[in-house]
Amino acid sequence: MAETLLKSLKAGLIGSGIQASLTPAMHVKEGAAQGLRYEYELIDLAQLGLTPAALPQLLNDAEARGLCGLNITHPCKQVIIPYLDELSDEAHALGAVNTVVLRNGKRFGHNTDWWGFAESFRRGLPGADLDAALQIGAGGAGVATAFAILSLGLKALTVFDREPERALQLAQNMSLLFPEATIRASDDISDAMRNSAGLIHATPTGMAKYPGIPLSPDLLQPRHWIAEIVYFPLETELLREAKKRGCRILDGGGMAVFQAVGAFRLFTGIEPDAARMLEHFRSMTI
């Protein structure tokens, strides 16, 4: 009986301005490879003329239509929490949800963003120096990447954000979760780079609609590793400049794929083929 129920699944993504998302294609193709009739829909607030205030109704509608789960993206990752029944430990710690499982009349919130970044980093930058790193960006993505890199054993993290209070808040929150690490906010990127082995970039800068680079390229040294979260384009200006200077680099594609791997597992109860999903993602971004 359980196998029969698994043969047909529906899921979706709630966010604003999400028409270019590659998440639906990744889920549907892996579902087909696993023998599922898997449908995945976009619920785009911008196209529907809605705001996050519509989340309660959207959740009710999704349950009524039999969706097994929803991915959640900007600007809803924090706003959705009051409408959920339970949170995973990681979602609770991060105060952000990107995956909601709908099961037996209940809504379970998870965060696979942090694991997506951690798994991408572990595979893409093996043996990276984790003595000290600078992170630029303390928003929703920055919370996940900070949690991920500290979970991997980073000893010292400096956080910079254009809104200093946000960097300070992230540093304080992570210090409570990782008391053995040294975590601080700073407004001096130059000093932080001099004293860091690597850089995590967790802002939209470098995306097609937000072109540019988040710091002076002159601060990049061959000894630095550079980890990016932007994946559209896959090679950002930051990564191009870092590559020129001999840095080890990690593009944002891995995080995008592995968060989807985690969500697929939660939605279906089936272990996806991560290598196949990576290959599919790369084929869509060439």
Which residues are catalytic, by number? 77
Both structure tokens of 247: 């840095």
Name every residue whose Cβ is closer than 8 Å to that of residue 155 and which is 6 or more positions away in sequence.
Answer: 130, 131, 132, 181, 182
| Phi–psi pair at 102, nearest 5 degrees | -105, 110
90: number of Cβ within 10 Å? 20
* Nearest partner of 69 among 266, 262, 258, 259, judged by Cα: 266
Q: Which residues of 179-202 are buried (b: 16+ CB within 10 A; e: fewer)?
A: eebebebbeebeebbeebbbbbbb
Separation CA 224–CA 194 (nearest Å)? 10
Separation CA 37–CA 33 (nearest Å)? 10
Total residues belonging to the chain: 286
